[in-house]
Structure 1
Amino acid sequence: MIKNSLIPVIPQEEKNKGSVEFQIFSFTNRIRRLTSHLELHRRDYLSQRGLRQILGKRQRLLAYLSKKNRVRYKELISQLDIREPKIR
């Protein structure tokens, strides 16, 4: 349900499932679904672990995209309404 409603955000030429933007987009959808699941089921520790893994993957992909193409990175961040990761 959520996945189908958010897919039109990505332009047609970027629906390539191997592209970094599509992967970040799909991870963001999974993160939002898991977050809503964990609001109801607070003690689901395996889902919490999976959420942390997906967050790490998305963070690595965002770092890669910011190094390769800063303009596309900024556009994607604004489209998906996510914050920039903290720099250590």
Structure 2
Amino acid sequence: MYLTKEVKEEIFEKHGKSKTDSGTAEGQIALFTYRITHLTEHLKKNRKDFNTERSLVKLVGKRRDLLDYLIKKDIMRYRAIVKELGLRK
């Protein structure tokens, strides 16, 4: 599987408060971004995989909701995570 326990811990350690802290919005956004990039690469090879396409759209929506939450809650945290992950130009 592409998303092992070690990969998750690395993502949460880099973007969250600690490697076991999966509850922060930044950690969840980083995890969703990792999964979105993986699914995007999969869909480039398998154009007719509509179940994966649906999953990708749902993940993008979840990430968007978390980003909207961060904008309302703390704009500086939002700007930091967007810059760190390179989500905007």
- Smaller-chain TM-score range? 0.7 to 0.9
Identity, in percent, stands at 38
5+ residue gaps, structure 1 = none
Equivalent in the alignment of 2:85: 80
Shift of residue 30 of structure 1?
0.5
Look up the SS of the partner of 2:87 in the other structure: coil
Q: Distance in 2 between matches of 1:17 and 1:9?
A: 11
Equivalent in the alignment of 2:35: 30
Of 44, 52, 57, the match for 2:49: 44
Number of residue-to-residue matches in the alignment? 83
Q: RCO (CA 8 Å, sep 6+): is it higher in 1 or 2?
A: 1
Q: Distance in 2 between matches of 1:77 and 1:26?
A: 13
Instruction: Pick closer, same or farther for the CA change 1:14–1:78 going to 2, 3 Å.
Output: farther
Equivalent in the alignment of 2:67: 62
What letter is aligned with 1:36? E
1:3-61 Cα deviation digits (max 9, x unpaired): 73x726426x2541011111111100000000000000000000000000000000000
What letter is aligned with 2:61? G
* TM-score, structure 1 as length reference: 0.82
Q: CA RMSD in A?
A: 2.2
Q: Distance in 2 between matches of 1:25 and 1:14?
A: 13
Look up the SS of the partner of 1:17 in the other structure: coil
5+ residue gaps, structure 2 = none
